[in-house]
Amino acid sequence: MELRLDGVSHAYGGTQVLRDITLTVPEGKIVCIVGPSGCGKSTLLRMMGGLERPDEGTITQLGEPPEGCLNPLTYVFQDFALLPWRSVEGNISLALEDHDLSKARRAAIIEDVLARTSLSDFARALPRQLSGGMKQRVAIARALAVNPAVMLLDEPLSALDAQTRVLLMDDLVSLWTRAPFTAVYVTHNLAEAVRLGHRIVVLSRRPGAIREVVEIDSDLGARGEGDAKLEQVQTHLWHLMRDEARAADAELADA
C-alpha cells in the first residue's frame, strides 16, 4: 500500500504550519521527514494516520493493505504511549482485543512479535520496570502485532540516550531487512535519517514546505558507521537546514 499527499496545507489559529506538501510514500520503503523544530513534521504525520484533518489538500491510500492487516496506518510514538497498568503482553494485546481473533491466534501473534523484538523474557513485566529502550521496543512490537501497511514513526528514538538509540536503529534495520515494511519516519536527527531513510524529505521552518527530497539508493543493511557517502549526504542535509534551524530557534512561540 502507498500513501500519497496532495497539496496539504494547515494552519493553527492564524499561524500557517504546513504549506502545499505533495509527497508519495512508496511501498516497502522508509521515508524520513526532517526539519527544524516547529516545522510541522509531527502534524504532518498525525494527518497521514488520520489523527488530524488538514485544512487543504488530500491524503490518499493507494492499493490494498496486506493480508491479515488489522490496522493499516499504525503509529510508534515518541513517548512510547504504553498503558502503565498493563504488562508488556497486555499492552500488545490491547491493539488486538477489538478484533475478532481467537484466543490462541492472539497469543500466537503476541508471542511472535515479542520474539521478533527480543522481548520474550519480559512478557509479564510492567512498563515502569523497563528502560526507555525496552519501552520503545514494546511499542514497536505492538505496532508489528497489527501487521500495518504503513508504520508512522514520530521521533521514536528522541526520548532515548545516544547508545540506546544506536541499538534501536540496528533493530529497526534488521526488522526491515527481514521483512521490508513501508514507513514514514519523522525525526530531527540527521544521522537517523541517513541511516534509515530510502528517501529523505527536508522541510523548511514554519510554515513547513518541502525544500528538497534526497534519495539514498544503498541497501539499509549495508549502511554502517563511517560510510563516506552517507556522511556526505548528512553534511548536505545539515547545510540545507542550518540557517532554518537557527532562524527557527530564534522565533517566539506565539509571534
Residues that bind another protein (CB under 8 A): 49, 51, 70-71, 73-75, 77, 79, 81, 83-86, 94-95, 97-98, 126, 128, 142, 146
DSSP-derived secondary structure for 111-164:
HHHHHHTT-GGGTT--GGGS-HHHHHHHHHHHHHHT--SEEEEESTTTTS-HHH
Query: Strand 30-34 and strand 182-187: pairing?
Result: parallel
Nearer to another protein, 62 or 81 (CB): 81
Residue 27: CB minimum distance to another protein, A = 21
Residue 141: CB minimum distance to another protein, A = 13
Query: Strand 2-12 and strand 56-62: pairing?
Result: antiparallel
Q: What whole-number distance in Å separates Cα of residue 60 and Cα of residue 74? A: 15
Nearer to another protein, 98 or 225 (CB): 98
Q: What whole-number distance in Å separates Cα of residue 128 and Cα of residue 226? A: 36
Query: Strand 73-76 and strand 150-154: pairing?
Result: parallel
What's 208's DSSP letter?
A: B
Residue 126: CB minimum distance to another protein, A = 6
Residue 200: CB minimum distance to another protein, A = 24
Nearer to another protein, 12 or 85 (CB): 85
Nearer to another protein, 128 or 239 (CB): 128
Q: Which of 140, 149, 36 is nearest to 88 (CA)?
A: 140
Nearer to another protein, 98 or 121 (CB): 98
Residue 70: CB minimum distance to another protein, A = 8
